[in-house]
Amino acid sequence: MRFLFLGDIFGRSGRTAVVERLPQLRRSLGLHCVVANGENAAGGFGITPDIAEDLFDAGVDCITMGNHAYDQRDSIAYFDDERRLLRPANFPSSNPGRGAGLYETESGYRVLVVQVHGQRFMAPMDDMPPAIERELAGLTLGVDADAIIVDVHAEATSEKGCIGHWLDGKVSLVVGTHTHIPTADTQILPGGTAFQTDAGMCGDYDSVIGMEKTTPVHNLLTKLRGPRMQPAAGPATICGLVVETDARTGLAVSAQPLRVGGRLAESMPTFD
């Protein structure tokens, strides 16, 4: 099967680009599943039910979140109601929502998506490995799921790399989110798991990680807090990666970055 993972969707610019271009990308790339991180979709902070529904209607099959999961407080109950919306699995178990989901695509493929929240340089959280083990318990790649995707929403590249190597051969993809910059290390690890330290963001890159650049630059130079930061509103680059898996094992046979539109150099996957 072939699936697309999209990095953090940031603000109106990012979500407009995804909604407008994803249907065509699904067709042209022959995608069976699309997973997108949406934790910055609502003005850079969280998500709303209306925004989530727009993304689902455009062809996103599952939305992962992160440290901004509950920023839109009026939307917290939506996490219990919508099983296609995931918050990190290592959040407190009493929190609304779930940290993993097993989904069946229109093509009949079964895809397990798991998300965890990093610990270094972020708010204190439970350990990632036990949360991942709990969500993978009793499920075997290639038997119970045709693909397993793990989103590591973390600041530290070392954490993302450690999780990738630890899960190598057990899942289809380990991919990082949160830092909004697409890394150039898209690869298939020795055991057959696709990996990229960070998928980047779907947003305007004439910015400071998605925010209009004037205020954060002012804050850095003066050490004085400027006006409230606002999402950059220019054309967005859609960033992510496309993974193709072996029909028998569920492991990756191809992993290629995708960058479309906006300011970054384009990278479009090709297949034989």
Summarised one tens digit per residue, pLDDT across range 203-215 is 999 999 999 999 9
The catalytic residue positions are 68
Mean pLDDT of all residues in 17-34: 98
CA distance 210 to 212: 7
Mean pLDDT of all residues in 60-71: 96
pTM recorded for the entire structure: 0.96
pLDDT at residue 139, rounded to an integer: 94
Residue 74: pLDDT over 90: no
Average pLDDT, the chain: 96
- Contact present, 148 and 172 (Cβ < 8 Å): yes
pLDDT at residue 123, rounded to an integer: 87
pLDDT in tens, 172-187: 999 999 999 999 999 9
pLDDT at residue 68, rounded to an integer: 95
Backbone angles phi, psi at 62, to 5 degrees: -150, 140
pLDDT in tens, 108-131: 999 999 999 999 998 889 999 999
User: Domains in the chain and their CATH numbers?
Assistant: 2-260 (3.60.21.10)
Residue 253: pLDDT over 90: yes
Mean pLDDT of all residues in 200-229: 93
pLDDT in tens, 36-50: 999 999 999 999 999
pLDDT in tens, 257-272: 999 999 999 999 998 7
Mean pLDDT of all residues in 211-221: 94
Residue 222: pLDDT over 90: yes
Mean pLDDT of all residues in 217-241: 93
Q: Which of 54-63, 100-109, 196-205, 220-229 has the lowest mean pLDDT?
A: 220-229
pLDDT at residue 33, rounded to an integer: 98
Mean pLDDT of all residues in 152-162: 97
